[in-house]
Amino acid sequence: MDFATVADNLRESFRVIASGRQHGEVRELRGVSIASAGVTFQMFNAAFLSTPVASEAELAQRILLASLHFEKRAQEWAYWVCEDWIDARTRKRSRKLFDRNGLRHTVDLPGMVAEQILKPVKPLPRLDVRRVADSPTCDAFCAIGSVCFNVPLSWFREVFDREAVWDRFIGYVGYRDEEPVSTAAVVVGAGAAGVYNVATLPGFQRRGYGEVVMRHALDAVRRNCGIERSILQSTTAGYRLYERMGYRPVTTVAVYST
Residue 30, classed as helix, strand or coil, is coil
pLDDT mean over 157-184: 98
Q: Where would I find the H helices in the chain?
A: 2-19, 56-72, 88-100, 135-148, 153-160, 209-225, 239-245
- Identify the pLDDT of residue 1: 73
pLDDT averaged over every residue in the chain: 98
Domain ranges of the chain: 2-110, 128-250
- The amino acid at 35: A
Q: Could you give the count of Cα atoms lying within 13 Å of 187 in the half-sphere of its Cβ? A: 25
For residues 165 and 167, give the distance between their C-alpha atoms in angstroms, rounded to a whole number.
Answer: 6
Q: In what order do the strands lie in the sheet with 25-29?
A: 25-29, 32-36, 45-49, 78-82, 248-257, 104-114, 230-233, 192-200, 179-189, 170-176, 128-131
- Quick check: 17 and 53 in contact, CB under 8 A? no
- Quick check: 54 and 88 in contact, CB under 8 A? no
pLDDT mean over 35-60: 98
Per residue in 49-64, pLDDT tens? Answer: 999 999 999 999 999 9
CATH of domain 128-250: 3.40.630.30
For residues 28 and 194, give the distance between their C-alpha atoms in angstroms, rounded to a whole number.
Answer: 21
Please give the angle made by the CA atoms of 32, 33 and 38, to the nearest 5 degrees: 125
Residue 89 pLDDT greater than 80, yes or no: yes
Per residue in 221-257, pLDDT tens? Answer: 999 999 999 999 999 999 999 999 999 999 999 999 9
- Identify the pLDDT of residue 64: 98
Residue 216 pLDDT greater than 90, yes or no: yes
- Identify the pLDDT of residue 209: 98
- Identify the pLDDT of residue 3: 96
For residues 167 and 173, give the distance between their C-alpha atoms in angstroms, rounded to a whole number.
Answer: 16
- Quick check: 220 and 214 in contact, CB under 8 A? no
For residues 15 and 21, give the distance between their C-alpha atoms in angstroms, rounded to a whole number.
Answer: 10
State what percent of residues in the chain have pLDDT above 70.
100
For residues 91 and 56, give the distance between their C-alpha atoms in angstroms, rounded to a whole number.
Answer: 9
Per residue in 108-152, pLDDT tens? Answer: 999 999 999 999 999 999 999 999 999 999 999 999 999 999 999
Name the pTM for this structure: 0.96
